[in-house]
A and B are shown apart, each in its own frame.
Chain A
């Protein structure tokens, strides 16, 4: 089976290269059978990558240590679920997963857009196959998942990194790869639009689902990564501005800008060049993120270590950027806006402002990430860019962005928003004041946190005011009840209200983030019977126990929690020692959550006489962060819920080279 997987990867590489060549040849020579062949190559490469993926998964589940990769990332004591997840724990498997997802998405793109975007499809197929070929090049010649174990086959494997043995870490990488691969599809069609000289909005309309869904799944991946860091690393936070975290945040920011900016192109034919720039930048940042994660250039808690892969990604990244910029320059005349901005206070201007903020934030994260490398290359000086830089630069921009989320939907398109629009601002204004006052009354004194509360009130006021207005009008016109009218309003404009719900979710995410500067911490070493105090909480240390299980030994401590003197529950923080990885103990934190704050306890040390060291932290509003993610998901789901629509062939009058 391993030789079958290896062979499938090798043949898939040549199939993709042939397919890309056939696609390019077909479109240049106007030969439809060549194009048809290239489409067959898309299906074929997906089939071959599926064979390879199944073969590698079988090797993991069978603990086939004749493969070096399986030996390095699994062991006999590992549960089947984690053995399956070990597939993407290392470089080789994660590249295979990425390639497989990208190849699967290429099939879907072909199925869904072949008839709707016939002139772009061969070009997009070419770009997609070149991308899959790049991954297959790495999988065949640089980072081989089916490389045999050198020498005698061992009886047991080295095992999975204990830090990765967490449910969040099982889903986190595939979510990121789905996001990355999904955003490759709009990138491919953007390049196709440039190459074919058809820069009208038809490709943007078709790519909307890909963009929004991929952006959302990438966001889920980021959030799951944050949750994993929160419960698994034991330092008490969920975001440290680590280069690897930044790697996924940068394309998410530019994709968010693209997702909003294309709406202006759809409606007004503006921002064409900007949109091309954004999607090319998004794809560049995806490659850049992968480059810094896998090159060993930047040290990080969860990088893949030093490897030769970095130079390949660097080369491909430079090539992608250069070709993208060249294509934009070549088609610059087709990318001129059809209309001009008519007012600084209009929907288009607000979208532009939001876009600029997203782009500036993405650039600041990019700069903070690469600056240590540039400083070392230029002067041999080791520089670290800490959270202070990122927070100082990004917090003000993020606050303005939150305000724009609230204000933008209230502004008129095309013309200046006049006095009639001012009345729509009344409710958001009052809810904004109420939000800020509520924050202050609940004891919050951090200015940024109070501003977040106020601006979140503005968002709530804007969304609810807009919805209430629409429902009231329909209620009056159709003489329906409020709820039936509300359901009809949402049903008839899912895209708009899905977006509104997603905006509400983002406001909740902001509220969650605003709690970060308000956290408090105490550490201490105590014996059973003694207590630690933090604010209104008292934690009484009860006992310590050694808990053995199949693949690990845990030191578990039990604490009884009192809030304002009343018992509220128990916390059981642990330190775990895994088989084959005794030198790498992990901290299993224990958390009591409610809507106001998390009480977070990590066991940082212990003695055989029962003494234990704890880190106790109160993290306000964290629950709102996770809740916001769910609400964004609800909004995105509503916005993307499929509607029946007739198949329309692409307009033949657009662009033209």
Chain B
């Protein structure tokens, strides 16, 4: 007995010494490059949801880059260049196609890096021709100061053109006259809670920022939609992204709510908007409501009301999500649910989330179901529904594409989508999602924009990084919108 117990304990202690402790990000000194590296590495290690999809050796990354970051000084501008280079190297194989990484050095110089975009550039003949993110030059001697980098609308247009996305809407029918857009006039930066429309000198700006923030920014950044009926009796709907449904003014027996009553940080921002801004928002909301009513009417009755006294028989529907950057998932459920019979449920795929801080700890795959809202007695909408996509159709627009293709009498025109089929939301609730680290001044010094879940289609396929290929590829034309024309033509058949 005396001889056996020490042996057992000796064996046990040998095994105990094999376990190790991870670093808690909140305990890290973030005023050094080593500290920022450790936060980045640990946040990714714990919360990044896509490790199971590719074979990045995140452990090896730690061994390789820790000594490199330890050798850097946070006060040295040349060391910032090296730090940015290391961060880019670490992130280059990330396969989350929403992913971007931003790091700010002590002097305010910022690196913004989007590995998916970089990958698409590198495989193109025009690589390097577009300065999407004004970036650091890595020649160790010179670099651009890029404070406040984010792409301008001109850059964005070039990007879309480059990735097969620029389009013009032409040859619209005489009845095609409705259009609406909303533009977010101010960029949100820093601490949003500092904006108070009741005291701020720039009340208009503060009200706008809080109003848009209350809508989760989903109507921000030049959201536009067009809709109408072509002269071939096809209903056409274009969305540059999908707005949060909070922008609607609903007053029915079951639901009574309005964007006018949205509260944010204890105020109702709408009340502080200027008369012109209120009119802008009111018109947008009204137009969106009109578009949804039109779609609902067509899906249920094949008829569109074009005046108080007349209706049109509509042959089919075109949904245009070219260069649609995504937006609110709830809008996708509404937009596609309108076509499906009330009471039916369409499982379009499955999501799974992180379920613990271990790198490979996930929830089960959970069905993603679109609930039917339609009122046709004979089932789902039976007529043609064409969807137009391009290389910049991302995120929720890809979920829309999959849903329409799988469950409706549909064809996809255009080109393969971006391949960012997952989405994102509050990481406090779901563990994974966008992460920000602020310094003592409240300025963001590390930002990881990443998705909340993995998505797979019903056949088990992940389209992340792959995109959804069209049923009918249509090449772009510099003189006419062939994709639009092909889609309209088929929808009218």
Chains A and B are bound partners: no
Q: Which residues of chain A have a CB within 8 Å of any CB of chain B?
A: none
